[in-house]
């Protein structure tokens, strides 16, 4: 099948008057559709996993003429929806060139409340972390195997001013480290005891680790959902503090909470965790352990 035919706003307006079977489908978010849409259009948000099922219910006949549109020419939801329709077997799919922006600029009939969408207000102040939503996952490897688990966050906060993280702290409960891939396996407790011992994190002497955030700068040109922050921090582990730098993806969720996620690797030997390191021992055989530990962090502030 070919790509959908592009229609100008004027061509679509003429077609909707000539072809009574034509269905115009707005594939944006329901909130956006309710505020402003093409007159007579129906909504089926292409971002929702039920898009295909609703499409079949809304338009059961594959020969029905359909025109899809999204927000603007630079937003890709309309072309994404048209491709889904093409793959589903619909034979008469059109796409509005310039999408809703072009339709409104042409002064053609609209529907909706016309209420402006209130942007989420970026928080400012001192925000404690939601410990039920914030989490840390770790992954360690040797040449043949890997283990992964969780490291509970004991406490934490972020300081935010002028849409920038100006400081913060995350405290990890090292005594509560878990290994998820060995859950229910007798070796789980063996490994955890190994990690808590002086071979690794020596949690009897150092029950906490601490990540102190110094500053997070916005990466110019980055978009929502990308790595849009460059973070400078200090990690204290086993009583040793070293600076680290990593990128993170951050923004506001639907409830206005500040959320940040990062994936990074640290060289454990910088903090004196030397067990199984090929740089510090001449012969290890099956006791060799990679120096790098991968960490995934998600922090969520408490609701405003």
Q: Tell me whether residue 187 is in a domain.
A: yes
pTM for the structure as a whole = 0.80
Among 111, 135, 153, the domain-final residue is: 111
Residues 92 and 197 placed together within one structural domain of the fold: no
What percentage of residues in the chain have a pLDDT greater than 90? Answer: 86
Mean pLDDT in the chain? 94
Residues 210 and 91 placed together within one structural domain of the fold: no
Residues 138 and 83 placed together within one structural domain of the fold: no
pLDDT at 205: 97
121 has a pLDDT exceeding 80: no
Residues 177 and 270 placed together within one structural domain of the fold: yes
Is 214:234 a contact under the CB 8 Å cutoff? yes
Domain harbouring 33, CATH code: 3.40.250.10
Q: What is the pLDDT of residues 135-157, one digit of tens each?
A: 999 999 998 899 999 999 999 99
Q: Tell me whether residue 97 is in a domain.
A: yes
pLDDT at 164: 84
Q: Tell me whether residue 37 is in a domain.
A: yes
Q: What is the pLDDT of residues 206-235, one digit of tens each?
A: 999 999 999 898 899 988 788 999 999 999
Residues 262 and 141 placed together within one structural domain of the fold: yes
pLDDT at 4: 86
Q: Tell me whether residue 118 is in a domain.
A: no
Domain harbouring 189, CATH code: 2.40.128.110
Residue 116 or 127, more confident: 127
115 has a pLDDT exceeding 50: yes
Residues 182 and 276 placed together within one structural domain of the fold: yes
Residues 186 and 274 placed together within one structural domain of the fold: yes
Q: Tell me whether residue 282 is in a domain.
A: yes
Among 77, 111, 145, the domain-final residue is: 111
Residues 176 and 102 placed together within one structural domain of the fold: no
Residues 34 and 89 placed together within one structural domain of the fold: yes
Number of structural domains (the chain) is 2
119 has a pLDDT exceeding 80: no
1 has a pLDDT exceeding 70: no
Q: What is the pLDDT of residues 74-111, one digit of tens each?
A: 999 999 999 999 999 999 999 999 999 999 999 999 99
Residues 212 and 292 placed together within one structural domain of the fold: yes
Residues 231 and 259 placed together within one structural domain of the fold: yes
Q: Tell me whether residue 116 is in a domain.
A: no
CA 12 vs CA 5, 8, 164, 165: distances in Å: 11, 6, 45, 47
Q: Tell me whether residue 211 is in a domain.
A: yes
Q: Tell me whether residue 133 is in a domain.
A: yes
Q: What is the pLDDT of residues 21-45, one digit of tens each?
A: 999 999 999 999 999 999 999 999 9
Among 78, 111, 144, the domain-final residue is: 111
Q: What is the pLDDT of residues 171-211, one digit of tens each?
A: 999 999 999 999 999 999 999 999 999 999 999 999 999 99
Q: Tell me the residue range of the domain where 50 lies.
A: 5-111
The contacts of residue 203 (CB under 8 Å, 6+ apart) are 174, 175, 177, 196
Closest CA to 140 of 278, 291, 242, 280: 291
pLDDT at 2: 65
């Amino acid at each position: 099948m070919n790509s959908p035919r592009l229609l100008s706003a004027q061509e679509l307006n003429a077609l909707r008057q000539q072809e009574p079977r034509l269905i115009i489908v707005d594939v944006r978010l329901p909130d956006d559709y309710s505020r402003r849409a093409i007159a007579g259009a129906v909504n089926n948000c292409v971002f929702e996993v039920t898009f295909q099922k609703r499409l079949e219910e809304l338009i059961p006949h594959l020969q029905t003429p359909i025109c899809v549109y999204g927000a603007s020419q630079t937003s890709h939801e309309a072309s994404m929806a048209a491709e889904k329709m093409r793959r589903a077997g619909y034979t008469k799919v059109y796409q509005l060139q310039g999408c809703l922006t072009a339709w409104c600029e042409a002064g053609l009939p609209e529907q909706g409340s016309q209420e402006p969408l209130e942007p989420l207000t970026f928080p400012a102040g001192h925000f404690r972390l939601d410990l039920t939503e914030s989490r840390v996952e770790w992954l360690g490897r040797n040449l043949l195997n890997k283990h992964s688990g969780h490291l509970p966050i004991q406490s934490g906060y972020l300081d935010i001013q002028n849409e920038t993280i100006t400081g913060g702290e995350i405290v990890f409960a090292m005594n509560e480290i878990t290994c998820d891939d060995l859950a229910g396996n007798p070796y789980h407790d063996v490994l955890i005891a190994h990690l808590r011992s002086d071979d690794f994190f020596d949690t009897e002497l150092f029950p906490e680790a601490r990540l102190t955030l110094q500053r997070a700068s916005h990466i110019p040109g980055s978009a929502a959902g990308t790595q849009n922050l460059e973070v400078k921090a200090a990690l204290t582990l086993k009583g040793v503090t070293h600076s680290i730098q990593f990128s993170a993806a951050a923004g506001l969720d639907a409830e206005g909470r500040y959320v940040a996620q990062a994936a990074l690797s640290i060289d454990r030997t910088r903090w004196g965790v030397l067990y199984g390191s090929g740089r510090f021992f001449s012969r290890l055989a099956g006791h060799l352990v990679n120096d790098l530990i991968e960490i995934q962090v998600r922090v969520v502030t408490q609701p405003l």
